[in-house]
Amino acid sequence: MKNIVEALLFATPEPLTQAKLNQVMDGGDVDLQEIVEQLNEEYSDAGKALYIGKVAGGFQILTHPDYHLYIQRLFTKSHRLKLSSAALEALAIIAYKQPISKMEVESIRGVGCDSVIRSLLERELITIKGRDEGIGRALLYGTTQEFLKAFGLNDISDLPKLKELNQLVMNSSDNRETPNETE
């Protein structure tokens, strides 16, 4: 069974979920989590550059971060997700505040977001999650599975907490070199 799961993980471009495995196995009683743990143990014991990670609600074969530089060199920059700073700002707001209307995003950013929202929708990083109950019934936006895959997250709750981000910013400003007063 391990070999079958490993082959499926290797072959699928999407994260393999328990539901998808059950479909493939015709409802067979196979515990994907348990097999993944066994495979990860084997990979670790053999010193492999691969591991199976939880991504977007399923599992995928991934490479250890130690090899990121080499993989990055292998692929051209055209394969990377390129977003403008405006798109990144809007995407961060949507990710943390979802579901959220375009008007609320614009209120936080202080500028119009029509083209940014349209671009994020086209790239399938966000989707329409519903309508607001208030006047005008504005569209509400949220992130997608593609967003999770693009940023290597298993679930939206894996985003850093705002307290953690504030701490990182404070630590980076504390670590800046200060001129030596005796020079």
148 occurs within a structural domain:
yes
Q: Is 147 strand, coil or helix? A: helix
93 and 59 belong to one structural domain: no
118 and 66 belong to one structural domain: no
177 occurs within a structural domain:
no
Amino acid (1-letter code) at residue 183: E
Q: What is the per-residue pLDDT for 167? A: 79
62 and 92 belong to one structural domain: no
101 and 31 belong to one structural domain: no
| Token couple for 137 | 């019934």
What CATH number is attached to the domain comprising 143?
A: 1.10.10.10
127 occurs within a structural domain:
yes
Per-position pLDDT tens, the chain of length 183: 899 999 999 999 899 999 899 888 876 788 999 999 999 999 999 999 999 999 988 999 999 988 888 887 776 554 567 889 999 999 999 999 999 999 999 999 999 999 999 999 999 999 999 999 988 899 999 999 989 988 888 899 888 887 877 777 788 776 655 555 444
158 and 92 belong to one structural domain: yes
The set of long-range contacts for 85-91, using a CB threshold of 8 Å and a minimum separation of 24, is: 86/111, 86/113, 86/116, 87/116, 87/119, 87/120, 90/116, 90/117, 90/120, 91/120, 91/125, 91/126, 91/143, 91/147
Q: What is the per-residue pLDDT for 72? A: 77
| Token couple for 149 | 């895959």
101 and 147 belong to one structural domain: yes
Indicate the number of domains in the chain.
2
Q: Which residues pair with 28 in a beta bridge?
A: none
Q: What is the per-residue pLDDT for 114? A: 93
Q: What is the per-residue pLDDT for 171? A: 80
Q: What is the per-residue pLDDT for 137? A: 92
pTM above 0.85, yes or no: no
Task: Find the domain containing 136 and state its range.
Answer: 85-171
Contact 56, 153 (CB under 8 A): yes
Element (H, E) at 140: strand 139-143
Q: What is the per-residue pLDDT for 27? A: 67
161 and 110 belong to one structural domain: yes
